[in-house]
Chain A
Amino acid sequence: MSEYRGLRRAHILANHILRSPPPSSNLSLTPEVCLQYSPPELNESYGFDIKEMRKLLDGHNLEDRDWLYGLMMQSNLFNRKEIGGKVFVSPDYNQTMEQQRQISMKRILYLLENGVFQGWLTETGPEAELNKFALYEVCGIYDYSLSAKLGVHFLLWGNAVKFFGTKRHHEKWLKDTEDYVVKGCFAMTELGHGTNVRGIETVTTYDPTTEEFVISTPCESAQKYWIGEAANHANHAIVISQLSINGTNQGVHVFIAQIRDQDGNICPNVRIADCGHKIGLNGVDNGRIWFDNLRIPRENLLNSVADVLSDGKYVSSIKDPDQRFGAFLAPLTSGRVTIASSAIYSAKLGLAVAIRYSLSRRAFSVAANGPEVLLLDYPSHQRRLLPLLAKTYAMSFAVNDLKMIYVKRTPETNKAIHVVSSGFKAVLTWHNMRTLQECREAIGGQGLKTENRVGHLKGEYDVQTTFEGDNNVLMQLVSKALFAEYVSCKKRNKPFKGLGLEHMNSPRPVLPTQLTSSTLRCSQFQKNVFCLRERDLLERFTSEVAELQGRGESREFSFLLNHQLSEDLSKAFTEKAILQTVLDAEAKLPPGSVKELLGLVRSMYALISLEEDPSLLRYGHLSRDNVGDVRREVCKLCGELRPHALALVASFGIPDAFLSPIAFNWVEANAWSSL
């Protein structure tokens, strides 16, 4: 068997050569003593299967995601550049606003030609929706302008037609929307009203003589504002407007209006202006719209909930205007789901870049003449980045869970989706902004270059805390929903069911007075603290509101006065919901290194959340000693996660080309020869 001999020979030789000591370095001023980039992969090892971890984090449609990453990398439209021997793709932010808008549209048309949007509106069911979510997320990793433009067209315009419209609208618009024959926008927000949709001032009346609706902008504060795609590209708009029939306001309704002709000229009785240059998302053409008694056919009322007959009679299957309003807005939840998920991908991007850099950049020596220390070997640097990494992991599971509930939604789960998506949207987008800022600082001056992405993402993603509902208002909505649930269960003397409040039916958990390391890392303990905090805050909030109401104040006013408790409560609810999704994911895993790592990450998530929340100390759930124990444990966990930092960001599955030069050989990328 000469083959085996050959194998053995080569093996022995390889071992011999690789184990021989390196030649002794001479210390003259040769290039070798200059600072060299050393790839983190050389010194860090993967303690778990990063492919398995990526499967958990991305959750679904991995192959489709990879296909889309590849589509973008292989096209010159995506501003492909070779820097330091690697290929990178990211938008050129040195382009003018107009150029950015045009290139975004061209990119969309390229993706369209390759079938990326196939079935986004015409196919239904969980599989189609998850595919859409996955591809949408990948677009956002390349450029949030790209995904925001897609979001306007498919999730706002397209979904409005799909959910508010009936058969005649579906047949007329959905396929054409998917093929970009029609370019849609969504005109809801006005100068004077944003999150408070019910207050919008645009008015639509009905003219039975011509069987047309007449849309008008009665005052300057009623101009439609921030309407994505309106400034340049959209030719049709969903118009959200009050409907006035014979002088009676029937509340907010949804209409379709054509705003440009096929050649792109603005239609008569429509005026459009540009919102101008923004702190980010300049690839999106946000515009303002005024309607000067614009006439549209009667069929253009999206009539799934209410209709106006040809003679002008108003009919609706839902009599109560409040419920009708709720029915109108319920389908828009998908926007919040995608915002929350893209926020987490943005945080992943920032962390992947900052952590890779911190594993290759050194600063200061601890001992005189000693080697400079790797950034991530400083406990303080670990403390800055690793808790944010753990939170990003936890929130990644949370948003996957939300997506699954959303795609399998039923009328019974609508309320839970509404409440949970509100909380997640707010908490996850805030988390992203905070993470990006920390990552930008952690990269130092290099973070200021748009080429390195992280700093610039702050401007791009900032709007997430505002659109589809201001974060603060959404959090108040969570507290109000919990209040309503509490009052209703107490009144009817029924056990709690849903929204994760079932723990309220059991006796209050008792926390141990001494917190050892193993107690702090125990999932049952962590769950108990989170439940106790939520329960206590909910009871305090409801009793405070009830007390004020007892003194004759209105419920709304009582909420207002208790805004601090409301804020604590909604945060406690959301953080507990997030923790629960990690525990659920962990429970499904077989024993092994992935599960172990996830356990560490979960403990870090739980303990950093406790460390950062003064309400535990304020209301006496944790003692001063306890809080000190938590703080020490966070530091210990930082040290334990440190060896896994590279593997944890590698598991994000974001291809190198979508990170940035600073995440790789930044010496070569900045060398004179690379100019």
Chain B
Amino acid sequence: MASHSQVLVEEKSSVRILTLNRPSQLNALCLDMISRLLQLFLAYEEDPSVKLVILKGQGRAFCAGGDALPLVRDIVQGKWRLAANFVTYQYTLNYVLATYSKPQVSILNGIVMGGGAGLSIHGRFRIATENTVFAMPETALGLFPDVGASYFLSRLPGFFGEYVGLTGARLDGAEMLASGLATHFVPSTRLTALEEDLCKVGTSDPSFVSTILDAYTQHPHLKQKSAYLRQVLDVIDRCFSRRTVEEILSALERETTQEPNDWISTIIGALKKASPSSLKISLRSIREGRLQGVGECLIREYRMACHVFKGEISKDFVEGCRAILIDKDRNPKWEPRRLEDMKDGMVDKYFEKVEEEEGWEDLKLLPRNNLHASAMATPKL
């Protein structure tokens, strides 16, 4: 079956290696892949012979995210509930991973975006390499960082999560390690050897896995223009801590007038290009997520996603996908057009139940025994 070849399974004694195998689409997740992964992960959790699960991607991507085009097609045809079904399964998988009772290792040797982050960052171990490119690009698509991102972004140091979530900034492996998005950094040439060593694991005690990973890990230097350097981080913290998107923008503009600066201008540019409604709901989502458990985050994100798909307040998701993925003119016409036109009351709507929609319910999460999502690794500053 097609869905099976899109997720390859290798069994190596107590270890299972799952490979996302849709390289022509950068391993973007379709519903079949998600349900297959959910099936496998749930089965492995119950199977006492399985001690460790490794997740990786075929080709130059780990996973470029959820496959947005079918969703947009459904929405345009008036069937947004199908899109909602898709994220129901995606978020369920995210939740299972966040509360997984056995260690998993995600090998992020390439592109990790959106849904790909949801598949990996919730897991216990995340291995970055020199090939890793991480981003949460949703605000440029008229969406918001979902898949539990309001949980893991909000737990990054300071206000780095707001920066990553609002601007869609790309991070490399070194930055992922420094910020705690990755737990280890291993050069890609060493991955085969690492995998072989991991396959010798005969226990689900994460400290054994940790010992193996520690032997391979390196501490790469941050690039000269990295956003994770102290002086840059200070500016990010000063600006992205502000109460509203408008205040964040004006704080950034104040910083550039004091000291003209390329990278601040890039940030401002990214914010000005993004969907105003996306920016506002994303900021609120990350702020609420900071105070919530991963389950609550996913339930809230599900409400938000349904409102985005339903398109009653804004149709930016369809417009963003048109401009970036379909027509590729990279010139989306956002509506509301300006930040100030996106009123608080409109933002509030995204966080409420979808009223007057027959049969609509809040996301029901599977009951889990291990409620505590693994804490984000403490980054080394």
0/1 per residue, A324-342, Cβ < 8 Å to B? Answer: 0000000000000000000
0/1 per residue, A59-72, Cβ < 8 Å to B? Answer: 00001101101110
Closest B residue to A50 by CB, please name it.
Answer: B296
Q: Report chain A residues within 8 Å CB of B242.
A: 114-115
CB distance from B78 to the nearest CB of A (A): 16
The answer, yes or no, to whether B170 is at the interface (CB within 8 Å) is no
CA distance in complex: A17, B34 (Å): 17
CA distance in complex: A665, B293 (Å): 14
- Taking a contact as CB atoms closer than 8 A, the residue among A6, A39, A85, A656 that contacts B32 in the complex is A6
The answer, yes or no, to whether A2 is at the interface (CB within 8 Å) is yes
- Which of the segments B17-25, B113-121, B364-372 contacts the partner chain? B364-372
Interface contact A85-B372, CB-CB below 8 Å: yes
Q: Report chain B residues within 8 Å CB of A2.
A: 2-3, 32
Q: Report chain A residues within 8 Å CB of B42.
A: 13-14, 17-18
Interface contact B371-A42, CB-CB below 8 Å: yes
Interface contact B38-A10, CB-CB below 8 Å: yes
Interface contact A17-B157, CB-CB below 8 Å: no
CA distance in complex: A20, B43 (Å): 12
The answer, yes or no, to whether A271 is at the interface (CB within 8 Å) is no
CA distance in complex: A10, B158 (Å): 38
Given contacts A10-B39, A17-B46, A82-B378, whether A64 and B243 have CB atoms under 8 Å apart is yes
CB distance from B301 to the nearest CB of A (A): 15
CB distance from A372 to the nearest CB of B (A): 20
Interface contact A13-B31, CB-CB below 8 Å: no
- Taking a contact as CB atoms closer than 8 A, the residue among A14, A115, A665 that contacts B366 in the complex is A14
- Taking a contact as CB atoms closer than 8 A, the residue among A10, A18, A86, A113 that contacts B89 in the complex is A10
Query: For residues 1 through 31 of chain A, which have their beta carbon under 8 Å from a beta carbon of chain B?
Result: 2-3, 6-7, 9-10, 13-14, 17-18, 20
Interface contact B291-A6, CB-CB below 8 Å: no
The answer, yes or no, to whether A292 is at the interface (CB within 8 Å) is no
Interface contact A86-B35, CB-CB below 8 Å: no
CB distance from B64 to the nearest CB of A (A): 19
Query: For residues 229 through 288 of chain B, which have their beta carbon under 8 Å from a beta carbon of chain A?
Result: 237-238, 241-243, 247, 284, 287-288
The answer, yes or no, to whether A488 is at the interface (CB within 8 Å) is no
Interface contact B82-A13, CB-CB below 8 Å: no
- Taking a contact as CB atoms closer than 8 A, the residue among A10, A41, A655 that contacts B291 in the complex is A655
Given contacts A7-B31, A18-B366, A71-B241, whether A13 and B287 have CB atoms under 8 Å apart is no
CA distance in complex: A464, B356 (Å): 48
Interface contact B46-A67, CB-CB below 8 Å: no
- Taking a contact as CB atoms closer than 8 A, the residue among A10, A14, A73 that contacts B290 in the complex is A73
Q: Report chain B residues within 8 Å CB of A657.
A: 291
Q: Report chain A residues within 8 Å CB of B31.
A: 3, 6-7
The answer, yes or no, to whether B188 is at the interface (CB within 8 Å) is no
The answer, yes or no, to whether B58 is at the interface (CB within 8 Å) is no
Q: Report chain A residues within 8 Å CB of B344.
A: 63
The answer, yes or no, to whether B374 is at the interface (CB within 8 Å) is yes
CA distance in complex: A67, B89 (Å): 30
0/1 per residue, B325-341, Cβ < 8 Å to A? Answer: 00000000000000000
CB distance from A173 to the nearest CB of B (A): 25
CB distance from A5 to the nearest CB of B (A): 9
The answer, yes or no, to whether B13 is at the interface (CB within 8 Å) is no
Given contacts A9-B35, A10-B39, A66-B288, whether A74 and B157 have CB atoms under 8 Å apart is yes
Q: Report chain B residues within 8 Å CB of A69.
A: 290-291
The answer, yes or no, to whether B5 is at the interface (CB within 8 Å) is no
The answer, yes or no, to whether A543 is at the interface (CB within 8 Å) is no
Interface residues on B, range: 35 or more
Closest B residue to A80 by CB, please name it.
Answer: B157
Interface contact A39-B371, CB-CB below 8 Å: yes
Q: Report chain B residues within 8 Å CB of A42.
A: 369, 371
Residue among B36, B45, B46, B247 with max Cβ neighbours from chain A (10 Å): B46
The answer, yes or no, to whether B154 is at the interface (CB within 8 Å) is yes
Residue among A2, A7, A69, A86 with max Cβ neighbours from chain B (10 Å): A7
- Taking a contact as CB atoms closer than 8 A, the residue among A17, A74, A86, A115 that contacts B43 in the complex is A17
The answer, yes or no, to whether A380 is at the interface (CB within 8 Å) is no
- Taking a contact as CB atoms closer than 8 A, the residue among B3, B38, B374 that contacts A85 in the complex is B374
CB distance from B24 to the nearest CB of A (A): 18
Query: For residues 71 through 110 of chain A, which have their beta carbon under 8 Å from a beta carbon of chain B?
Result: 71, 73-75, 82, 85-87
Query: For residues 351 through 370 of chain B, which have their beta carbon under 8 Å from a beta carbon of chain A?
Result: 366-367, 369
Interface contact A70-B372, CB-CB below 8 Å: no
Q: Report chain B residues within 8 Å CB of A17.
A: 42-43, 45-46
Interface contact B284-A63, CB-CB below 8 Å: yes
The answer, yes or no, to whether B375 is at the interface (CB within 8 Å) is yes
Interface contact B287-A70, CB-CB below 8 Å: yes
Interface contact B291-A9, CB-CB below 8 Å: no
The answer, yes or no, to whether B159 is at the interface (CB within 8 Å) is yes
Given contacts A39-B372, A67-B243, A74-B159, whether A10 and B287 have CB atoms under 8 Å apart is no
Interface contact A6-B371, CB-CB below 8 Å: no
CA distance in complex: A14, B89 (Å): 11
The answer, yes or no, to whether B85 is at the interface (CB within 8 Å) is yes
0/1 per residue, A123-134, Cβ < 8 Å to B? Answer: 000000000000
Query: For residues 7 through 52 of chain B, which have their beta carbon under 8 Å from a beta carbon of chain A?
Result: 31-32, 34-36, 38-39, 42-43, 45-46
Interface contact A74-B241, CB-CB below 8 Å: yes
Closest A residue to B86 by CB, please name it.
Answer: A3
Q: Report chain A residues within 8 Å CB of B237.
A: 74
CB<8 Å pairs between A and B, sample of 19 = A3-B85, A6-B35, A7-B31, A7-B35, A7-B85, A10-B35, A10-B89, A13-B39, A39-B372, A63-B284, A66-B290, A69-B291, A70-B290, A74-B157, A82-B378, A86-B372, A115-B247, A656-B291, A657-B291
- Interface residues of chain A, those whose CB is within 8 Å of chain B, are 2-3, 6-7, 9-10, 13-14, 17-18, 20, 39, 41-42, 63-64, 66-67, 69-71, 73-75, 82, 85-87, 113-115, 655-657, 665
Taking A9-B39, A85-B372, A87-B155 as known contacts, 13 extra A-B pairs with beta carbons closer than 8 A to each other, sorted by chain A number, are: A3-B31, A3-B32, A6-B31, A13-B42, A14-B38, A18-B367, A42-B369, A63-B287, A64-B243, A66-B288, A71-B241, A74-B290, A114-B241
Closest 3 interchain pairs by CB?
A10-B35, A655-B291, A6-B35
- Interface residues of chain B, those whose CB is within 8 Å of chain A, are 2-3, 31-32, 34-36, 38-39, 42-43, 45-46, 82, 85-86, 89, 92, 154-155, 157-159, 237-238, 241-243, 247, 284, 287-288, 290-291, 293, 344, 366-367, 369, 371-372, 374-375, 378
